[in-house]
Amino acid sequence: MGSEQGRPYYNEIFAKSKKYSCDAEQTDYYNIWLTALSWINVNEKIGEACCGTGQFAKLAIKKGYNYLFGVDFSDTAISICNDKNKNNPIPFYVKDIFDENDNPIYDSIYDTLICFEGLEHIEKDILFISKIKPGTRLIFSVPNFDDIAHVRVFTNEKDVIDRYGEFLNFNNFYCHCFDNDSKIFLFDTVKK
């Protein structure tokens, strides 16, 4: 298992890897993101924590969803995000998800909060979820594989429910399988 990594690590990853600069349709995550969008009413207000380079944001906006903002602590990711979404007047913020000052995650201006593959990267995932306003819909994904930047590994759906069930009601589940036995678990939940 890895450890929590800082901003320089992610800045380097986002700057060097082509998989973060392409459009959503060219990623391995496209079908996962389409599934998440199928769960969301087009009029729901969407915010995104750990938005990375804005691939999901651009897809959601292109498909007519009410995407309000994205937050990521990597300034490189947000720079790519702004370039990728320059024709859309959507704000993207360089913010740590735990910084409550001037952070739209804590303004409760959205109905649905998205967090794709972020929770496995942070030690204080429970603290983050506990700060989300009750009644807020949280759609998130986590992988079943290890990485230098993963602080935990979820081997199956039950592992995720066991960890977050005290804070979330689970509604929908989708498991995306890759060719190499790697999986992404996608959940549609509501904060208790």
> Which residue type, as a one-letter code, is found at position 127?
L
Stronger pLDDT, 17 or 192, i.e. the higher one: 192
Give the closest residue to 33 by CA, choosing from 155, 136, 104, 139. Answer: 139
8 Å CB contact between 14 and 80:
yes
Can you name the residues that pair with 189 across neighbouring β-strands? Answer: 138, 170
pTM to 2 decimal places: 0.96
pLDDT exceeds 80 at position 108 = no
Report the pLDDT value the prediction gives residue 106, as an integer from 0 to 100: 87
What mean pLDDT do residues 11-35 have? Answer: 94
Give the closest residue to 191 by CA, choosing from 69, 106, 123. Answer: 106
Return the SS3 of 136. coil
Report the pLDDT value the prediction gives residue 150, as an integer from 0 to 100: 97
Right CATH number for 7-191 from 3.40.50.800, 3.90.1150.10, 1.10.357.10, 3.40.50.150?
3.40.50.150
Q: Backbone phi, then psi, for 106, in 5-degree steps?
A: -105, 10
